[in-house]
Chain A
Amino acid sequence: MNIQIRKCYYGDIPEENNSGAGTQSASNESLWPLWEVFIRSKQGLDHKHAGSLHAADAQMAMENARDVYTRRQEGVSLWVVESKNIHASNPDEAEMFFEPSSDKAYRHPTFYDLPDEVKHM
């Protein structure tokens, strides 16, 4: 048998023709939109992004989110929002976008030198 052994890790089996490399041929006649899921794990905490899923509408997104993301009491409250409605900052411009805050050290309490005698501050 003539087999060519290539290094591949578990879960990384070589594919003769790389899949998912950009060619989109799948039909989307039955494609459900993508939703982002946010979970409040307990009262008093913020909702936190947990992941995403596909669903036909908000109600189905909510029920699917419950079934996949909260099977072990991970949440007491859920938000679902259609992914297309999220506006994200651009990581390529992050440096410029967030820059103004890094040169304003006086916004931090450690900027101020106070004598040790000052208590409770």
Chain B
Amino acid sequence: MSLHDLEKTFQDKIDKEIKIEPKDWMPEAYRKTNLRQISQHAHSEIVGMLPEGNWITRAPSLKRKAILIAKVQDEAGHGLYLYSAAETLGTSREQMVEDLNSGKAKYSSIFNYPTLTWADMGAVGWLVDGAAILNQVMLCRTSYGPYARAMVRICKEESFHQRQGFETLLVLSKGTKEQKAMCQDAINRWWWPSLMMFGPKDSESTNSDQSIKWKIKRKTNDELRQQFVDMITEQIKLLGMTLPDESIRWNKQRNHYDFGEINWDEFWSVVKGNGPCNKQRLEAKNKDHQEGLWVRKAALAYAEKKRLRVTVKVA
């Protein structure tokens, strides 16, 4: 079959909602796009453990500590599911880890913001996981089979994350004057970075929309962002808090909430490595990796020793 025929057969499959599996023929650009997206997604889950891990030892109660540990453990699992999916596209785990640690690979910029108070654990769960879920629910139907399956698994676990975040804020919103202020402050700091999680505006592109055509994505950045604004604007009423954007108001014609302009300079600056914690995050990852080296080696040596012992017994 000619390349043109292969591409046509491939697109026909996509159009008929037939999933693409690892060993199927796929255009090189499809493989690369998926690989980049899935590995970035995996890195985001892994780096995402850092800002929350920051509060495990300082959680205000044993209950909150147990919840936070469970959540951070989930994120590690999410990273694993996604790395496994990426590995089916022909890269190795080691390579991906190296690309993350060297700063070559990207991860979601949201994790380059600091978690300053306990209320941030609530805001991260509610807003950051909330934004991630909208994206991930859409990705459950993505065209690459292993990615879609990983997403289904992740989505099942993710709703607890958002709910515990909202509940954390709900408790604070009913607390003392200081606790209420802490709650509002966390929302103020996390709102705009959460909106940026959906990526640049659709109109900023002249590129043809290959990801949609290949059904890697099924909604545009702006569609998802709007969905998020509509959802949060309603939910925040129950907290009795406000969003740091005075231009948010219901638009009858559009049947959606209008909202203010995002600071795109900030967005690109954080993507390019100049966010408040970019350096810290990479340093932490590199330190973990180096300090874990002897453990990885020892485990291999131990496995080899056990194997030899069995061989001797058999002989």
* Bound together: yes
Chain A positions within 8 Å of B, measured between CB atoms, are: 1, 3, 5-13, 15, 17-32, 34, 51-54, 56-57, 60, 67-69, 71-72, 88, 90-92
Partner of B95, one of A8, A9, A26, A72: A26
Across the interface, which residues of B come within 8 angstroms of A23, CB to CB? 95
Q: In the complex the two chains form, is A57's CB within 8 Å of B307's CB? A: yes
Interchain residue pairs with CB less than 8 A apart (27):
A1-B265, A3-B265, A5-B268, A6-B200, A7-B209, A8-B199, A9-B217, A10-B131, A12-B36, A12-B40, A13-B271, A15-B105, A17-B104, A19-B36, A19-B99, A20-B99, A26-B97, A31-B93, A32-B296, A32-B300, A51-B153, A52-B87, A53-B80, A56-B299, A67-B73, A88-B23, A92-B23
Q: In the complex the two chains form, is A30's CB within 8 Å of B293's CB? A: yes
Partner of B94, one of A8, A28, A90: A28
Give the size range of B's interface with the partner: 35 or more
Q: Mark B267-301, 1 if CB is under 8 A from A, else 0.
A: 01001000000000000000000000100110110
Question: Within the assembled complex, what's the spacing in Å between the Cα atoms of A19 and B91?
Answer: 10
Q: Is B205 an interface residue (CB 8 A)?
A: yes
Secondary structure of the B contact surface, majority rule: helix
Question: Within the assembled complex, what's the spacing in Å between the Cα atoms of A55 and B32?
Answer: 27
Q: Is B117 an interface residue (CB 8 A)?
A: no
Q: In the complex, which residue of chain B has the Cβ closest to the Cβ of A16?
A: B104
Q: In the complex the two chains form, is B37's CB within 8 Å of A11's CB? A: yes
Q: Which 4 A-B pairs have the closest CB atoms?
A: A7-B205, A57-B303, A26-B94, A30-B296
- Chain A-chain B contacts (Cβ-Cβ < 8 Å), number: 150
Q: Is B77 an interface residue (CB 8 A)?
A: yes
Across the interface, which residues of A come within 8 angstroms of B76, CB to CB? 68
Q: Is B63 an interface residue (CB 8 A)?
A: no
Most chain-B Cβ atoms within 10 A of its Cβ — which of A7, A51, A57?
A: A7
Q: In the complex, which residue of chain B has the Cβ closest to the Cβ of A28?
A: B94
Q: In the complex the two chains form, is A20's CB within 8 Å of B211's CB? A: no
